[in-house]
Amino acid sequence: MKLSLSYKNVDLREPIENEVARHLGKLTKLLKTYTPDLVQVHASVEKHARKIAFDFSLNLALPTGSLHASGDGPDVRQSIKNAFPALSAPLQKHQATVRRDSQWQRKR
């Protein structure tokens, strides 16, 4: 999995990288079917200039499509915690569509 992080108006980089790595470890369980070279993750962290809030946006590029999620919060950890679950649900739906699970359901 290729990871790229970009920062805007953020000073603390090491805690952000540790938190992102921890959440990506959980996300790799869902991405076992893809070759690790073909999965790309781009994350960006931005601090608002006028208020105490952080935006965290996450783009996941897969061979079958790309997904986007974002999270915001009063601190960086909370914004990261909001973004990753917002990405896992559409990822599971995307994988079900690729597998064509709806065609394999039994008719009643």
| pLDDT at position 71 | 93
Q: Are 58 and 87 in contact (CB under 8 A)?
A: yes
- Dihedrals phi, psi of 51, to nearest 5 degrees: -135, 165
Q: What is the arithmetic mean of pLDDT over 7-12? A: 87
Strands across the sheet containing 54-62: 2-8, 40-47, 54-62, 65-73
Res. 48: pLDDT tops 80: yes
Least confident span in 31-35, 54-58, 80-84, 99-103: 99-103
Least confident span in 5-9, 34-38, 101-105: 101-105
Q: What is the arithmetic mean of pLDDT over 17-42? A: 91
Contacts of 100 (CB under 8 A, 6+ apart): none
Going by C-alpha positions, the residue among 9, 3, 31 that lies closest to residue 95 is: 31
